[in-house]
Each structure stands twice: as C-alpha cells, then as structure tokens.
Amino acid sequence: MLLVDACGKIVMANPSALDLCGYTLNELRGHEVEAFIPQRFREHHRCYRKQYLENPRKRPMGNHSNLVLLHRDGDEISVDISLSPITIQQRIYVLLVLNVIDRRSQAEYALRESQERLWLIKQMIDVGIFDIDCVNHKIYCDERLQELCGNSVNENITLNDFFAVVHHDDRANCQAAFDKAINPHMSGEYRTEFRIMQSGNQKERWITILGETQFVMGKAKRIVGIARDITQRKQREKMLQQHRNETETLFKQQVAMITVSAIAHELNSPLTAISAYSEVVLHALNETPIDCDRAREAMNGCFEQAQLAGGKLYELLNFLQHNTAEAEVLDLNQVIEDALLLARGDGYGGFNLMLELEPCLPAVNANRFQIQRVLVNLIRNAVEAMRTANIPVSEITISVETLAKENMALVSIRDNGPGIDQDTLKRIFNPFFTTKPTGLGMGLSISRALVEANGGRLWVDPDFKQGAQFHFTLPFV
C-alpha cells in the first residue's frame, strides 16, 4: 500500500509496496508518485490525479484502470489499484492498494499485442501464414493464404488436399521441396514457387512460400512460414523473357545476314579467280606435251587467291561497323544492370557480383541493344570460364569510371577465373578463333565491332593475373 498526499507525494509505504518497487521508504517518501512510473505515462497520470482530487471518491479494483510501476532495475510492473480518500487532521490523503496483475493476464495482454503487431505486418507486406503439422500431415492456412488460393482451401486441411490445388505441373517440385524441408540432414528451409488455378475463375496465380522446419528428436514436427503472391513478378519475368527471345533472334538474324553478305561479297572475287586459274590448269594438262610452266603459274594463282580468300574471312567484322542501328542517350549504369538481368535470365548467374558504378555518371551516346549484347557476352564468357575451371567462389566485378581527357566512360569487367594464356591473348579477337569445344569464335569479334561502331574501343588487359579483365569505352553525349 502507498499513502499519497493531496500534492501527489508519497507519505508512507508498507513493506510489500517497498518489495514490489525495490526502493526503501526514504527513497520513496517526499517524491511524486509519477517519479516511479514510466516516462510515457507520467503526464497522463498527473492530469488524472488532479481530476481525482477535485472529487475524491472510493474506487475499487477491477475497473481496468491499471497502473504501470517502474521497478528500481528498470522493469515495468503492471498493477491493479484501488483508491480510497482518507482525511487526517483535516488533510486529504489517498490510500493506494496495489495488486500485481496475474501472469496469465500479462501473457494474454502480450499475446494480444503480438497478434496486433503480426496483423499490421501482414497487412503491410501482404503475406499469408501457414503452419504445417508434419506429424499428422495437416496444414493451417490463415485468411490471406486462403484468399491467395482462391478460397479453394479451408483453414485446416490435409497436406494432400493442399497439394491438390497446386498446378499439376508444379506439384512434383512442391512435394520435393517439402521432402527436403523435413529431412533432418538438410537445412530445414521450405522454399518453393508454384501456381494455383483458382476454382472460381480458373485464374492462374503464382505463390511463393518460405518456411522453417522445427525438429524434435531428429524428426520434423512442424513448418511455420509465409506465403506471398508473386503473380505480377512472374508476368514481368515472362515479358522480359519474350523481349530477350525477340532481341536474341533479331541479333542472330543480323549477324547471319551481315556474315553471309560479307562472305558473298568478299569471296566472290577470289573464288572467280580460282575458278579461272583452275580452268587454265586443266587446259595446260590436256595439251601435248603438257605445258608445265603454264600449269605451275596457274596453280600459283590459285594458291594466292585462296590465301586472299582466307584473309578476307578475317575481315568480316569490318562489315558490322555498317550497322544502321541508331544511337541514343543512355544511362550506362542502368544498361549494365539490365544486362545483368538478361545474363542471369539466360542461366549465367551463380556468382558473387561486385558493382562499382559511378553515381552521377554523364549519359553516353550508344545503341542500347548493341551495348547490352556486348555486356552479356563478356559476362557469359566469364561465367563459362569459371565454371569450366570449377572455381569454388566465382566473382565478377563490373566497374565504371570517367576518362575526363578522352570524354569517355570506361567499363571494366573482371573475373577470378583461370585467366588467358599468352597464345590466346594474341588471337582472342580474331574471327572464328575459339577455345570452346562448341564455340563459333565470333562473340568477342562481334563485341569489339559493336563497341567500335558506337565510337568506343574494346580490349583485354594482358597484365591482369588474377583472372581475366576486359575494358571498353563509350563516348559521352
């Protein structure tokens, strides 16, 4: 119990009250009662105290007007209080009887607060909650998850019933992810994506779920997690894939058209000459006696023209510079980020990325499609080299900086792969030269031609020893 005067100052406290607060009587006496409640409640309590003393009356416990006391060690203690006005020597005092709220009430209050916080978080991030009973093979789905499933499931259903609403093409993956999650030798993470055909309108919806398995005695007991609608993300990915396929097809068509045209143009003259020299050789061989000098001269002509034809093949990339694609004002940092998405979408991911982009970089003047293809090709080459070499932790660093004197942007791409030997360095940009079993040897040649067609330069750093490093420049607007 506490005895408080009309000014709100503590006059007396019994031993139970002292034990409850952790203070001595001398430490309490003479201080306002508000000094021993949390700061956030003090002003409100002071106002209430003044109103009460204007019309003091007995107030029993149990009317939900609780008080929070501040223990000496900083802990907060919820108490129910009764108020009884007392007159002593014509002075008004108030007797406060304190009763600690039972632990169950505190637990219920904490649970309500937790549920309210959870509800607010769910509303903000728009997720559903699931709780899988791995022993009885049942799953609890909250209202949001039921809604995501098109109300095809109830609050409590069996796992088989839940998997039944999953798109038939995704059920195997969904089941495999579940089996992996309940395997005590694995991480216990339950992560998968799947489609659900809503029963009402047969609308396809993509769901991603992420949960954590709880194991007891080496056996999976339950999986608790969240579910989220990723339909819009999947639609964007589909549109991006369509765009990627279209641009890839266009790129291949352009390369094929340019290559075929170049071959026809460049080889037409030497092949015509070879045909003529061959005819001379045949005539010389049919003469009696055989005109060996004439035949030898014609064969030398065939040899020279064949050498000329071979040389022309290595000049094919000059024709790529006649590409009519229009340049535009580009944010180079954004082009790099888009190229990374394209490369990963093509399956060239799985590496640690270090992006060292230059903020406030001036715009460059180039063709977006061509520069994206250059970046994707360089990223692809780096990933393939590191995969072939079985690098444990693959890393690619892409940096951008300004070359003020040249008024150029410099892009550098380096990896921690096996690097490039000296013999390969000499021929790496030659058309049709490749170190890959199935490569055509045109990627770097085309990339260099595309960069040069946009007013820049592409080269490999011969002194970089921790992998491979390529640089290219592009002019600022």
SS3 428: coil
In contact, 11 and 4? CB cutoff 8 Å: yes
Q: How far is CA 301 from the centre of its chain?
A: 62
Q: Phi, psi at residue 290, to the nearest 5°?
A: -65, 130
CA contacts within 13 A on the Cβ side of 28: 28
CA 19 – CA 1 distance, rounded (Å): 11
CA 279 – CA 273 distance, rounded (Å): 10
SS3 392: coil
User: Which pLDDT score, from 0 to 100, does residue 112 have?
Assistant: 74
Burial of 13 (0-12, 13-18, 19+ CB in 10 A): buried
pLDDT value at 320 more than 50:
no
Mean pLDDT, the chain, rounded, equals: 83
Amino acid residing at 161: D
In contact, 470 and 461? CB cutoff 8 Å: yes
> Mind listing the domains of the chain with CATH numbers?
2-105 (3.30.450.20), 123-229 (3.30.450.20), 234-313 (1.10.287), 328-475 (3.30.565.10)
CA contacts within 13 A on the Cβ side of 379: 31
User: Which pLDDT score, from 0 to 100, does residue 349 have?
Assistant: 82
CA 33 – CA 36 distance, rounded (Å): 6
CA 114 – CA 273 distance, rounded (Å): 88
Query: Measured at the alpha carbon of residue 399, what is the angle toward residues 395 and 405, in degrees to the nearest 5?
Result: 155
Instruction: Label the pairing between strands 204-216 and 156-158.
Output: unpaired
Instruction: Label the pairing between strands 395-403 and 352-356.
Output: parallel
Is the backbone peptide bond immediately before 289 cis, with ω within 30 degrees of 0? yes
In contact, 126 and 112? CB cutoff 8 Å: no
Mean pLDDT of 19-30: 90
In contact, 59 and 65? CB cutoff 8 Å: yes
pTM: 0.40
- Lowest-confidence range among 22-36, 77-91, 166-180, 452-466? 77-91
CA 87 – CA 57 distance, rounded (Å): 12
Read off the pLDDT of residues 142-160 as tens digits, 9 standing for 90 and up. Answer: 888 888 777 666 778 888 8
Mean pLDDT of 22-46: 90
pLDDT class for 222, splitting at 50, 70, 90? very high
Burial of 27 (0-12, 13-18, 19+ CB in 10 A): middle
Bin 339: left if φ > 0, else alpha if -120 < ψ < 50, else beta. Answer: alpha
Which DSSP string do the residues of 95-137 spell out, in sequence order?
EEEEEEPPHHHHHHHHHHHHHHHHHHHHHHHTEEEEEEETTTT
- Lowest-confidence range among 166-175, 312-321, 342-351, 358-367? 312-321
**Does residue 417 or residue 125 have the better pLDDT?**
417
Could you say which DSSP state residue 201 is in? T
Percent of the chain with pLDDT over 90: 24
Residue listed under structure tokens 């549920």? 115
In contact, 371 and 433? CB cutoff 8 Å: no
